[in-house]
Amino acid sequence: MTLLRVENLRKSFGGLMAVKDLSFHVEKGEILGLIGPNGAGKSTVFNLIMGRLKPDRGRIFFKDHEITHWPTYKIVDAGIARVFQIAQYFPRKTVYENVEISAIPNEIFIRAPDPTLKTIQSCARTGLCPAEHSPDDDRCLCRTELPGMLPQGGLRRLELARAIGTDPELLLLDEPFAGLSPSEVDEISHLIESLRDEGQTIVLVDHNMRGVMRLVDRIVVLCFGEKLAEGTPEEVARNPQVQEAYLAGGGL
């Protein structure tokens, strides 16, 4: 079943056309890779989907609802969550408090359920809390640590915890492997795979095709805002245009 459908999306900034007549779709339960060199418009596509930017033209559908002009919070409530390329967190709140915010519902006047359970689940799921203390233990580091003290991998986990705290059906991951050490890349990679195994649909943005080849089910290749190719990793790798524009001599 098609979860997300993007039709003829167009966005320009001044004279620069960042996204040009882009159309693609995302199937439930798959990991889609949105690959392209830097400046290809990948982050812009995420911004458009999440309502941070309004497209000049085109439509976006999520589960058959048109979400093109929805405000961000409404899109998140509908079931799409996004992990930012540069982590967006609350610097003066602890890691636990950071994750807690996504567990709080968007209602002022109703009696809301205690966010503690949800927060603990999100923290545990993304491995934010070391094994020796569970997150509901006051001695757990994520209760006292500030995000600034986390390594890059930890920040990525924090972002993921905040994202899955909103119970998304679709996760948008913006360059999740940027700035990570090889062991951290492995860990995050496994985490993403396990999320998919639980039924999460994921769209992954990256500029390093080699890194994500074995992780994704399908790839959409972007170049200068346009779709260059689409298909399974093997099909895309064999595509001559892709090879020319992108891989230029480097094999797969």
Residue 130 Cα to chain centre, angstroms:
24
- Residue 202 as a binder of other proteins (CB under 8 A): the answer is no
- Residue 89 as a binder of other proteins (CB under 8 A): the answer is yes
> Between 115 and 154, how does the x/- string for binding to other proteins read (CB under 8 A)?
x---------------------------------------
Q: How far is the CB of 114 from other proteins (least distance, A)?
A: 9
- Residue 104 as a binder of other proteins (CB under 8 A): the answer is yes
**Residues in 47-66 at the binding interface with other proteins, rule: CB under 8 A:** 50
Applying CB under 8 A, what is the total number of residues that bind other proteins? 29
With respect to other proteins, which residue has the nearer C-beta, 110 or 248? 110
Which is it for the CA torsion 33, 39, 41, 46, positive or negative? positive
CB contact at 8 A, 245 and 211: no
Q: What is the chain's length? A: 252
- Residue 10 as a binder of other proteins (CB under 8 A): the answer is no
- Long-range interactions of 68-71: CB distance < 8 A, separation 24+: none
Single-letter amino acid, residue 213: M
**DSSP state, residue 96:** H
Tell me how far apart the alpha carbons of residues 7 and 179 are, in angstroms, rounded to a whole number: 32
> Between 163 and 182, how does the x/- string for binding to other proteins read (CB under 8 A)?
x-xx----------------
With respect to other proteins, which residue has the nearer C-beta, 61 or 90? 90
13 CB-contact burial (10 Å; exposed 0-12 / middle 13-18 / buried 19+):
exposed
- The footprint of other proteins (CB under 8 A) covers 50, 71-74, 76-77, 81-82, 84, 88-93, 97, 100-102, 104, 106, 108, 112, 115, 162-163, 165-166
